[in-house]
Structure 1
Amino acid sequence: MSKVYVIHENSVWVEPLRSAFGELGTPFEEWFLDQGVLDLRSPPPQGVFYNRMSASSHTRDHRYAAEYTGAVLAWLERHGRMIVNDSRALRLEISKVAQYEALGSFGIPTPETLAVVGRENILPAAQTLGYPLILKHNRGGKGLGVRLFLSRVALEEHLASPEFEDPVDGITLVQRYIQAPEPYITRLEFVGGRFLYAVRVDTSQGFELCPADACQVDASAIGSVACPAVAPSEKFQVIGEYQNQLIPTYEQFLAANGIGIAGIEVIVDGNGRTFTYDVNTNTNYNPEAEAHAGLFGMRSIARYLDRLLRQGQAVRAA
């Protein structure tokens, strides 16, 4: 019997999906891709493969989980298996440069950004861009390396200190700081390539915006709690009647990049301009905010994957 196969490296994040599959009676299996052996001589099983590998997997001592997932996805694609968030999606998950270039090809505005390799090149790049600016890791997640700098002196001090974090892929992004009138961003959730809902996220305590309860606290970002997901859930508020003229374009962008499930984060500046700065293909949801709104991301994902599985079974039986 075919199944839904969930590719991941963080068991806690998958718990809500397990519960949703249980409610539907969906057969599924988890592939925890930290390490292992991939036999390229054999075909993969039949089923639907949902990739939710995380850009931050290396911070959980799963250094090569993303690379291993890339190999598995290549194997699945060669054999024509149905994949939700395929190798194109993984490429964007682990590289913000790839994200911004892909978004730009659809005319979606992103913050001005310079990609820098070599710590000694960060100051010249910052001088070119101007202040205020943000440093962040190209392969991010968990707010890795995200810090705000208002001046050259502050940046010089940081670069000379042990607090500077070397990115796992060697690429540091020097990015224009987008000043929002109020301390919040908006995260748009998509399931099945279609807009599901938007959530307003309070950023007053830092830049880490993961909405999952299980996120770990990392106090390195801006000297504050780096993951407000573990703070009171009023930091996350599902927005009713949300409108954004870019939603159809986002849906086209997702389809073109093999992404069926994602969270897209945007910020609006004081002039009302919207900038898209992150695409998360292993999106998580805040349960209390969802319960208050009566909308449930993981249940929607489970229903979507269950439907794909049954459609595939029907085609093979015909």
Structure 2
Amino acid sequence: MNTWSELTEIQPMATQILTNSIEKGRISHAYLLQGERGTGKEQIALVMAKSLFCENRQGAEPCNTCTNCKRITSGNHPDVHWIEPEGLSISKEQVQHLQKEFSYSGMESNQKVYVVKHADRMTVNAANSLLKFLEEPSKQTTAMMLTENSGAILATIRSRCQVIDLKPLNPIQFRKQLVTEGMREQDATLMSALTNNLDDAFQVVQDEWFVEARKLVLQLIEMLTTNQENVYLYLHSKWLAHFKERDDHDRGLDILLLALRDVLYYHIGNEDAMTVFKPADALLEKSSMKFSQHHLSKLLDYVIQAKRKLSQNVQPTLVMEQLVLKMKR
């Protein structure tokens, strides 16, 4: 999405606020965009930067063809800086490097923009360094901070930003969009439950890693249904060999949540809402006979707890070991 017109379709309120600010020349020195993954935070930041630098802007709309627009699209504009976590967090050194860069005069103008992705992952020292930066803003410096977890942002930082809430995307509308773009209906149903990003959805569904991940999730449910005594062995021989990085585990748990939810849907006769299982899957019937609705609610809660531990930097192998031990009780 390269224009405000396109962004209006998914985030009309946020788009209206920002375009009005641009057209009236009342740009805030800092914005905090908060919303779930896939709600358009990065696209909004990108279009905002283009609007501020575009040589041929019409109203708030960037042209996307001038030199500045093209360089911002490619990530090569000297006065537009992106910061994102190196590893698990954004360090104080990254913020200090940004401050050093901004102490220099602009390469072509005094306008500067910086975008902080996953702003909630700043260390305490990094957040305090950024706070000092925000307390003495330059009139021609604009900060765009992006987060899925606004509760982890320092209140003092939030108070210095114009907070813009992004609404969750409609999964039904997104599924229809995926099908229109050529994705199979069943794949589109699953992707619309996992992401709200079109490019991400097509990349994931074509990835052999993801295809195997889905198979392993179903195998885990089969082990829990028919062969619980060997589930711990399965975890170490199969699951951990495929899910290696923290993000891999998180994506696997997302699929597991959806699969268990499918079994719950099967219980209540809402098969049209299923995402991972096919309605005629024999494992679906076996699992529904093994797990009551009450038991499924417990299993879902265990998986949610595991995802929370992953986000808190608990070692992934330990998280998964604890999860399967709880699930086999």
Greater share of strand residues, 1 or 2? 1
TM > 0.5 fold call: no
**Greater relative contact order, per chain length (Cα 8 Å cut-off, separation 6+):** 1
Bigger CA radius of gyration: 2
Greater share of helix residues, 1 or 2? 2
Q: TM-score, normalised by structure 2?
A: 0.23
